[in-house]
Amino acid sequence: MFDIDPIHFERHTTRKVNVVEARRFLIKFLRDDFQMTYQGICKTLPALGNHATAIHHLKLFNTDYEIYKRVKMKYDKFR
């Protein structure tokens, strides 16, 4: 869906929109559907660094999801 290299989940090498959006979608999915802890998400996605980054991305995602129809439709398709 995002057409990105899996290395972007292991290392934080870019801030391109599609890479950041893919990380946010995955954080939301892991948190809501698998009830993973923030620490668990960081272990799964080392590019995040720490739990505070995961919390930050989830808050931004939730805001975008409520405001932008495009994000809502894309995430619903992702799920």
Put residue 36 in one of left, alpha, beta given phi > 0 → left and psi -120 to 50 → alpha: beta
pLDDT score of 14: 93
pLDDT score of 25: 98
pLDDT per residue as tens digits for the range 10-38? 999 999 999 999 999 999 999 999 999 99
Per the listing, tokens 């950041």 go with 20
pLDDT per residue as tens digits for the range 60-77? 999 999 999 999 999 999
In this structure, what token pair is assigned to residue 1? 């869906």
